[in-house]
Amino acid sequence: HYWNGMMRDSERGVPRVHPTQKPVAVMEWVLQETTQPGESVLDPYMGSGSTGVACLKLGRKFTGIEIDAGYFEIACDRVRKAYAQPDMFVDRTQEPRQETLL
């Protein structure tokens, strides 16, 4: 099973902030196997934002939905911090922006 051994109590020494939080590296692997740079990814259960951080690192567009306002703020904060501290070798040609859904 692909997920065996990938769930941790913390990621790089930072405690989990969501009960089903996945490591960003796991979500990067999933996205690399299923999407191409520039494609859009929808996460309808955003939780802690691991998928959003992985999308940012891999050059994918990201839309996240989270019903819990507390987790939504945590996820947004994680994505903002990831954007403020980018990987050295990722091309960031466009600023992230809020798009209108309706």
pLDDT score recorded for residue 33:
95
| 92/99 Cα distance (integer angstroms) | 18
pLDDT score recorded for residue 83:
87
pLDDT score recorded for residue 22:
83
Give, in order, the Cα–Cα distances in Å from 22 to each of 30, 75, 77, 82, 92: 11, 12, 16, 16, 24
pLDDT score recorded for residue 60:
95
Q: What are the residue ranges spanned by the domains of the chain?
A: 35-86
The model's pTM is: 0.69
Exposure string for 82-97, b = 16+ CB within 10 A, e = fewer: beeeeeeeeeeeeeee
Neighbours of 30 (CB within 10 A): 15
- pLDDT tens across the length of the chain (102 residues): 354 555 555 555 666 666 677 888 889 999 999 999 999 999 999 998 999 999 999 999 999 999 999 999 999 999 999 888 866 665 556 666 777 777
Nearest to 41 by CA among 88, 80, 30: 30
| 91/102 Cα distance (integer angstroms) | 29
